[in-house]
Amino acid sequence: MDPNRLERVLEKISETRILVFGDYFLDQYWITDPELEETSLETGLPANQVVEVRLSAGAAGTVANNLSALGVKEVIALGIIGDDGNGFELIQSLERAGIRTDLMIADAKRYTPTYTKPLRIEPDGSQIEGERIDIKNRTVTPKHLEQELAARLRDAFLTVDGVIVLDQAQEEDCGSVTMSLRRKLIALATRHPNQPCLADSRTRIQEFSNVIVKVNEHEASQVWGDEQTSFEQICRATHQETSRPVVVTRGAEGVTGFDGQSFEQFPAIDYAGPVDTVGA
């Protein structure tokens, strides 16, 4: 992509409204200082001492945050969270980023999906991540919540300039993007082929059709090829299944796009230094 085209795209972003539908997680970082460690009087076990807490919206929240940071005119969040403290913090984080949250559904009988990541301060000042603690819903999303989510998706679908879907929950039908919601999304995208709709899924990307799919090279090769299949063949097979353009992220090789006719390569940015690749 030449600089002039990129500039035109970024200018257009400031006039765009995007709906981000899917699984919203709270990313919760606990920074602990080993020098302050105490011993529990009750158990005799170490009691790690938290000296800093960092909270941010993750999963679909990462997508929404990135769109907002790029200067999208309006980013609208749609998903199910718990009516709990983590849900409150998640909504606060989204709103601080200027993201619209009035379509979010908070339910007292659901958990707000949360990734808790302890980080230990090392003597040199660096931080080492420990074992992650996950809070997720492991029961099927109730039908009444599915129906309400489907109604909000339907009503918002054509009021925006594009839709991005993030299917993060690995547990089948336990998140916002259930089988029923996937079918409704595909039906909407099929009826309105001119509405840009992009889907990303951790474990079920092959179940999306008539939408643009964003997938990494490893996932694509697992679903649509094998070790003997060339990258070009994988892209063509993916497009044949989805009937829409394909976007493949390739790590240091950047991103490849395929629209069924031609390939376009977008190089990765060469960046040296420590980075957190989670949700990148």
Q: Give the model confidence (pLDDT) of 86-117 as tens digits.
A: 999 999 999 999 999 999 999 999 999 999 99
- Tallying the residues shown for the chain, one arrives at 280
Select the more confidently predicted residue: 272 or 199.
Answer: 199
Which position has the higher pLDDT, 5 or 194?
A: 194
In this prediction, residue 225 has a pLDDT band, given cuts at 50, 70 and 90, of: confident
- Closest C-alpha among 178, 124, 187, 118 to residue 146: 178
212: enclosing H helix or E strand: strand 212-216
**Distance of alpha carbon 30 from alpha carbon 49, whole angstroms:** 9
- Residue 278 confidence class, pLDDT cut points 50, 70, 90: low
Cα separation of 68 and 104, whole Å?
A: 17
Mean pLDDT throughout 122-144? 95
**C-alpha angle 136-147-78 in degrees, rounded to nearest 5:** 60
Instruction: Provide mean pLDDT across the span 11-21.
Output: 94
Element spanning 224, H or E? helix 217-224
pLDDT band at residue 224, thresholds of 50, 70 and 90? confident
Q: Please compute the mean of the pLDDT values over residues 177-190 and round it to a whole number.
A: 97
DSSP letter string, 54-110: EEEEEEHHHHHHHHHHHT-SEEEEE-EEESSHHHHHHHHHHHHTT-B-TT-EEETTS
- 3-state DSSP call for residue 141? coil
pLDDT at 280: 55
What rounded mean pLDDT belongs to the chain? 93
Nearest to 279 by CA among 27, 55, 17, 20: 27
Q: Which residues contact 106 (CB under 8 A, 6 or more apart)?
A: 80, 81, 82, 83, 87, 91
pLDDT on residue 2: 75
pLDDT band at 191 (very low <50, low <70, confident <90, very high): very high
CA distance 29 to 37: 18
Q: Supply the pLDDT for residue 89.
A: 98
